[in-house]
Structure formats: structure tokens, C-alpha cells
């Protein structure tokens, strides 16, 4: 194995070592814990940058990726091989994962109040741990972060290890291992403050919902291995003969080919992991975890993994596509992705929690990527995946900074009834938290697709351009409306949070957070603007003359040659739509919310009437799922399993066995135990016979030695006579 390949193998190792070292050795030292965690993230970052630069300098990287493999599991007639692989797609994903993970680790140090002025915060700006506070009429015991400081850095280290493993894997099985490690870490970190019932419920909800998708994904992996005998990406996705066989082979399931069925099964895994409809319900509740966890889940790792997997498997999804006709997996992705993008955007309109708005925004943006893959816009989906990771990490970390500043105000006023995450309790924070404001504004504009300047504009515009160029007008319309709503609710969020005057005393006493938290925001804001410039279309007016659309040419060669497609021809229609929806949504959001004093005066509430309550309650999906699945499962467990199966069937069977046993025992006692064992063997053989022999032998016990000698002689002569008789 070459030294350069060894470096690729070692990239996931530092966070894994940090996990074990912190748990086993450094768990009693907060300083040692964060230093080990941040140091491990920095080592993986440096190694990733070295690998990324080397990948950029490798000619024909798509045909000859970096990496190596080795024998792992012994099989009949050979070994199952695992390895690492860096091609154009994994190189750019590795680039953003390494940067965002390092920024999140650094931010976490400040988030947990390391380096804050002494006595400023106890933990996360909350009252001292153990105190009972009331929020929205519910009493909660405040959890302490300090005893769990080391635990937090250990868990996010394992989380980072899972994502690095997934990105670098050269086969589906190793990818699935990294996938499941992240699923475990999401469970542990969403419920990090396990003293809160809502956090416990959220972590169970996230774990169970994503497991639904994972089971289907595992079935797809098993189907592929059964059919092809391998799970290697190169062996399956770059061999046109294999894909042709998979596309033509009948799976005997609803008329799907093997490729179609495997693609749909794998896509269901993405529906769970990337929170697409109808398995979207877990992601908003993931906000119960610490804000750095939200950023890891929504930007750097968890949900990005789902989209990354179907981008990686796109040749399988497209196998059998002929003359622009979409395959079954692509149709499913286009329909679910476009619907989810619009569906989640409508819910975000009516949310007042600053993090929940971003959570539904994430669901919507992931829908953009899934829909792009559904219409064949492979490069556009990958481009938006990377830009979204940067600006959504920026927004989530920025929201955590805002909450931190608000919690300082809550602590100052001692009014713990005020929810520091409700945007209607904020306002005027631009002057209180200038670094957070400007970086959050950049992230918000990128999310909205502010024209020409932000990365989000270029990646969204490419998806819309692809949909328009290939005639997918329904997808185009859904995504355009979702883009307008995105710009609207983003400006609503910025206006309610930062502009105008403070609406509460807590907002008046908010203050800027430390550089531990704001420095990562500044770094991410650079990428939220600058990364889009690598994907400017070549024929874009004026700017296109300075661009060769590097991203499209680089990522496009991750595909087999037969799937590679040039960037769509420039058209003024999608560009005009992008400009109108972005600027129109931003302008309307500002005009509507610039002077709103309270949640009761929300103009959208008045305009939508009862529909606003439906949006605020997320179309009542949580209630519907609770009724259909949670309550029904409990009823089934209590009424059917417990009362019928347990009480009547199982207990009845046990009682029957007991009665039969007692009946058989009576028979054995009356007809065998008493007459045979007790009377014959016990009383007769064991009692009467020995007594008779004892009485007879007692007669020869005279005490006269001569008599004993005569008896001995008689016995001896008798024995000798018998011996002689037998031996004759």
C-alpha cells in the first residue's frame, strides 16, 4: 500500500481515537476533552485537504480514482474486499465535510461556555443545573452540560468518524456501516439532554423513523449482492454490461427490473435518512439536541449522507433510461423530492422557533436535491449538496449563537418563562450581536438564492435550468414556488430576529457570543458566498465569459461515460424565475414582517386563517402518526398481545399444562408410587425382607466360638464342592 493511499485510510481514524481516548482517559477533564476532539478534527481536516489537492492534480480522476482495497471477510472461494476510494464526487464531499466538521468542533467549545467570562453562564445560558424552570406551562429540570462535556465531544467524534467512513467507502457495505454509526450517534446526541422528556421522545422518534428506511436499504444491498456477487461501486456502476443485466433482469416484484427494485429500496433508505416525505417527521424534533448536533445532522453529516448515497448510486438509478425516459427510481425521486420541497417550505412559513424554521428548510432543500436527481440533474444535485452544507451549517450555528445571546438576557432578567428560541421574543439583535447578524444574513441570502452573489443562487439556478431544459415543467413549478416561499420565510426569520426594536427585555439584554462561536461563522460565510463561483455556467451573461464551470466538468466525470451530459443550454426563463422568486420572496418577507409586534399580530396568521393553524401544527402529521402507529401499537400490545396472547393463550396453555401435570401426577401416585415404590419396594423389599433375614441370622449369633468355626467349615466345604462341580 502506497503512503498516499495510507493517508486516505487514516482520515477517519483521529475522530475515532478521540472517541475512545475521551471516554476512557480524559472524561474527567473538560479542557483535555475539547482539545483532543478539536485536535482530532483538525488532523482529519489537514489530511482531507492534502487528499483533495492531490485529487485535483490527478488526471482522469473519474476513471482512475485514488485509494486501495484489501481482503476482509472470507467467503466461499475468495474474500469480500473493502477499501477506500476518492473520485471527483467523494473529493468534493470530503472537502465540505472536513471544513464543516472542524468548524462545528470549534464552535462547540464556545457553545458549552468554555472561555466565557467567569460567572457569566452556567451552561448554555440556562439557570444552574438541577433548577426547575417552566416553559410554555411545562416544568423542566435543567440538565447540566458540565458533567457531560467530555461525553459530548466523544459522541461528535464518533459521528465524524461515521461520516468520513461513509464518504471514503468504495462499496455499499462499508458505506452502510458508516451510515449506521451516524444513526447511533444521532440517537445519542438528539437525546443528549436525556433529563428532558421531549429529548428522550425525540431521540426514539429519530431512531425508529430512520430505521424504517434503513431496513429497506439493507434489502436493496442484499438484492444487489445476490444478483451481482459484489457491492463494489466500480464493479457495479462503471460496468455497463452489469447495469444492462440489472436493468433487464426481472425481479418478479410488481414488474420491476432488479435495477429498478434495488434503486427504489436504496432510495427509501434516503427517504428515512434525509427526512423526505413521508418519513420527514423526525428531523424537526432533532432540534432537541445541542445546536452543534443540529448542524452536524442538517449540514455536515446525517441528512447529507442520504443524498450522497443516491448521488453515488445514480448510474444504478438511471439504468435502463432510454431517450430521456425516466426510470422507476427516478420517477419516485422526482415526485417525492419536488413534493417534499414545497410541502416543507409551507410548514416553515408558520414556525416561530428559530431552529425549527431551519429544520423544515433543510427538509425542503433536500427535496431540491432529490428532485434534481429524479430528473437526471446529477451535477446540479451534487452542487447544491455542497453549497447547502456550507450555508445551512452557517445558519444553524448562527441560530445557536442567537439563542446563546438570548439566554444571557433570560439569565439577566431571571424570567425563565420566556422561550429564548421564539423569534417573537427577539428583535433588534443586529446591534446587540453584529458578527452573528452579518454572518446569519449571508447564510440567509444564500439559502434564499440571492442573485449572483451567493452560492445558493448558482446551485438552485442550475437545478431549475435543468428542469426547464429537459421539459420537466411540473418539477420546475414545484421547485420555483418552494424557492419563493424559502426566500419569504428566510427574510421573515431575519426580520423578526435581527431587525426593528427588541420585543422583550430579554432581547434588550442579549449580547454577542465569544469568538469561539462567531469565528466559525465567519469562515463558513466565506464558503456560503465563494463556493458558488466554481459552478457559474459557461454561457451565463457577462460572468460566463470568466468561467469554465469547473464544478460541472469535475463532478460530471464521476459518472460512467455513457451517462455524462453537458450543462444545459442557457435560457432566460429559469434565470428570470430565479431572480423573481428570490428577490420577490425576500422583499415581500421584509415588507410583511418589518413592524410586527407579536405572534398574535402575525400577518400570515390573519391572511391564512384556519390554514395557518394547520401549517403551524405541521399538517397534523405527528398527531396522525401518533394515532396510526404509536397508539395502535400500544393498543395492540395492551389489548391483543397482553390480554389475548399473554393472558388467554399463553397463560391458558400454561394452566392447561399444569392441570395435565397434576392429573398425571395423581395417576402415578395412586397406581405406581404408593403400591410399587412405597409398599412393595419400600415396605416389602426395603423393610419386611431385611427384617426376616435379620431374625434368621440372629439365631446363629450364639457367642460360642466353636459354633462359628463349624459354620465357617461348612461354608468352606460347600464352596469347595460347588467349585469342583462347576469345573468338572
pTM, entire model: 0.85
Place of cell 457553545: 111
* pLDDT tens-place string over residues 247-273: 888 888 888 999 999 999 999 999 999
What is the percent of the chain where pLDDT is above 90? 57
Confidence of residue 98 (pLDDT cuts 50, 70, 90): very high
* Buried b or exposed e, range 16-49, using 16+ CB within 10 angstroms: bebbebbbeebbeebebbbbbbbebbbbbbebbe
DSSP 172: H
Residue 663's CB is within 10 A of a number of other CB atoms, namely 10
Q: In this predicted structure, which of 48-57, 246-255, 440-449 has the lowest mean pLDDT?
A: 246-255
H helices present in 499-549, as ranges: 505-508, 515-530
In contact, 409 and 506? CB cutoff 8 Å: yes
Which residue has better confidence, 252 or 83? 83
Confidence at 545, pLDDT banded by 50, 70, 90: low
pLDDT score for 14: 97
pLDDT at 633: 83
* 3-class state of residue 135 by DSSP: strand
pLDDT of residue 711: 80
Mean model confidence pLDDT for the chain: 87
CA dihedral 561, 388, 278, 478 (to 10 degrees): -80
- End-to-end CA distance of the chain: give it in Å, rounded: 90
Over residues 6-18, the pLDDT tens digits come to: 999 999 999 999 9
**Angle between the N-to-C axes of helices 258-273 and 302-312, in degrees from 0 to 180, rounded to the nearest 10:** 160
User: What would the pLDDT profile of 379-425 be if each residue is shown by its tens digit?
Assistant: 999 999 999 999 999 999 999 999 989 988 888 777 767 888 999 99
Convert the pLDDT of each residue in 581-601 to its tens digit: 999 999 999 999 998 888 888
Q: What is the mean pLDDT of residues 636-653?
A: 77
What confidence tens digit (pLDDT) does each residue in 179-222 have? 999 999 999 999 988 888 888 999 999 999 999 999 999 999 99
Amino acid at each position: 500500500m502506497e503512503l498516499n493511499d495510507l493517508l486516505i485510510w487514516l482520515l477517519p481514524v483521529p475522530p475515532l481515537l478521540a472517541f475512545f481516548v475521551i471516554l476512557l482517559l480524559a472524561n474527567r477533564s473538560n479542557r483535555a476533552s475539547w482539545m483532543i476532539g478539536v485536535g482530532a478534527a483538525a488532523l482529519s481536516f489537514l489530511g482531507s485537504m492534502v487528499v483533495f489537492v492531490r485529487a485535483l492534480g490527478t488526471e482522469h480522476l473519474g476513471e482512475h480514482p485514488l485509494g486501495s482495497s484489501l481482503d476482509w471477510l472470507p467467503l466461499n472461494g475468495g474474500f469480500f474486499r473493502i477499501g477506500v476510494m476518492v473520485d471527483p464526487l467523494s473529493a468534493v464531499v470530503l472537502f465540505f465535510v472536513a471544513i464543516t466538521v472542524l468548524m462545528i468542533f470549534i464552535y462547540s467549545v464556545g457553545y458549552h461556555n468554555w472561555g466565557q467570562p467567569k460567572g457569566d453562564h452556567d451552561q448554555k445560558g440556562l439557570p444552574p443545573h438541577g433548577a426547575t424552570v417552566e416553559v410554555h406551562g411545562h416544568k423542566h429540570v435543567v440538565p447540566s452540560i458540565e458533567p457531560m462535556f467530555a461525553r459530548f465531544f466523544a459522541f461528535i467524534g464518533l459521528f465524524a468518524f461515521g461520516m468520513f467512513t461513509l464518504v471514503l467507502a468504495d462499496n455499499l457495505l462499508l458505506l452502510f456501516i458508516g451510515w449506521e454509526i451516524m444513526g447511533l450517534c444521532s440517537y445519542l446526541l438528539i437525546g443528549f439532554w436525556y433529563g428532558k422528556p421531549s429529548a428522550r421522545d425525540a431521540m426514539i422518534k429519530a431512531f425508529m423513523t430512520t430505521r424504517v428506511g434503513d431496513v429497506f436499504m439493507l434489502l436493496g444491498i442484499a438484492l444487489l449482492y445476490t444478483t451481482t456477487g459484489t457491492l463494489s461501486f466500480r464493479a457495479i456502476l462503471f460496468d455497463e454490461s452489469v447495469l444492462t443485466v440489472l436493468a433487464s433482469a426481472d425481479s418478479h416484484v410488481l414488474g420491476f427490473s432488479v435495477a429498478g427494485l434495488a434503486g427504489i429500496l436504496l432510495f427509501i433508505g434516503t427517504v428515512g435518512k434525509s427526512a423526505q416525505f413521508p418519513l420527514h417527521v423526525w428531523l424537526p424534533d432533532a432540534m432537541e439536541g445541542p445546536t452543534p448536533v443540529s448542524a452536524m445532522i442538517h449540514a455536515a453529516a446525517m441528512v447529507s449522507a442520504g443524498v450522497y448515497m443516491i448521488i453515488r448510486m445514480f448510474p444504478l438509478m438511471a439504468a435502463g433510461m432510454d431517450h430521456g425516459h425516466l426510470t422507476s427510481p427516478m420517477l419516485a425521486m422526482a415526485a417525492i423530492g419536488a413534493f417534499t420541497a414545497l410541502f416543507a417550505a409551507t410548514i416553515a412559513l408558520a414556525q416561530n422557533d428559530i431552529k425549527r424554521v431551519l429544520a423544515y428548510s433543510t427538509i425542503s432543500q433536500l427535496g431540491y436535491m432529490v428532485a434534481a436527481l429524479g430528473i437526471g440533474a446529477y451535477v446540479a444535485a451534487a452542487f447544491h449538496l455542497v453549497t447547502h452544507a456550507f450555508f445551512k451549517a452557517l445558519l444553524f450555528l448562527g441560530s445557536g449563537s442567537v439563542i446563546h445571546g438570548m439566554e444571557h438576557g433570560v439569565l439577566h432578567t431571571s424570567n425563565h418563562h420566556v422561550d429564548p428560541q421564539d423569534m417573537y421574543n427577539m428583535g433588534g439583535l443586529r446591534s446587540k450581536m453584529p458578527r452573528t447578524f452579518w454572518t446569519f444574513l449571508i447564510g440567509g441570502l444564500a439559502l434564499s438564492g440571492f442573485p449572483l452573489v451567493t452560492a445558493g443562487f448558482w446551485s438552485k439556478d442550475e437545478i431549475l435550468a435543468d428542469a426547464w431544459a429537459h421539459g420537466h415543467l411540473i418539477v420546475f413549478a414545484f421547485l420555483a414556488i418552494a424557492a419563493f416561499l424559502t426566500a419569504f420565510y428566510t427574510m421573515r426569520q431575519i426580520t423578526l430576529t435581527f431587525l426593528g426594536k427588541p420585543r422583550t427585555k430579554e432581547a434588550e439584554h442579549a449580547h454577542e457570543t465569544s469568538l469561539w462561536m462567531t469565528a466559525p461563522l465567519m469562515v463558513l460565510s466565506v464558503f456560503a458566498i465563494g463556493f458558488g463561483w466554481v459552478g457559474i455556467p459557461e454561457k451565463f451573461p457577462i460572468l460566463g465569459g470568466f468561467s469554465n464551470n469547473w464544478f460541472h466538468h469535475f463532478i460530471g466525470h464521476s459518472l460512467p461515460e455513457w451517462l455524462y451530459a453537458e450543462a444545459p443550454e442557457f435560457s432566460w426563463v429559469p434565470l428570470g424565475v430565479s431572480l423573481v422568486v428570490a428577490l420577490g420572496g425576500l422583499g415581500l418577507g421584509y415588507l410583511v414582517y418589518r413592524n410586527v409586534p407579536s405572534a398574535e399580530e402575525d400577518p400570515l396568521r390573519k391572511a391564512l386563517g384556519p390554514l395557518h393553524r394547520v401549517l403551524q401544527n405541521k399538517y397534523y402529521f405527528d398527531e396522525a402518526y401518533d394515532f396510526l402507529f404509536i397508539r395502535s401499537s400500544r393498543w395492540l400490545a395492551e389489548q391483543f398481545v397482553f390480554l389475548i396472547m399473554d393472558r388467554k393463550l399463553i397463560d391458558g396453555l400454561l394452566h392447561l399444562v399444569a392441570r395435565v401435570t397434576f392429573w398425571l401426577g395423581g395417576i402415578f401416585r395412586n397406581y405406581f408410587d404408593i403400591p410399587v415404590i412405597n409398599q412393595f419396594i419400600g415396605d416389602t423389599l426395603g423393610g419386611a425382607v431385611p427384617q426376616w433375614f435379620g431374625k434368621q441370622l440372629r439365631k446363629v449369633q450364639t457367642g460360642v466360638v466353636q459354633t462359628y468355626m463349624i459354620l465357617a467349615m461348612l461354608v468352606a466345604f460347600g464352596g469347595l464342592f460347588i467349585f469342583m462341580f462347576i469345573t468338572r
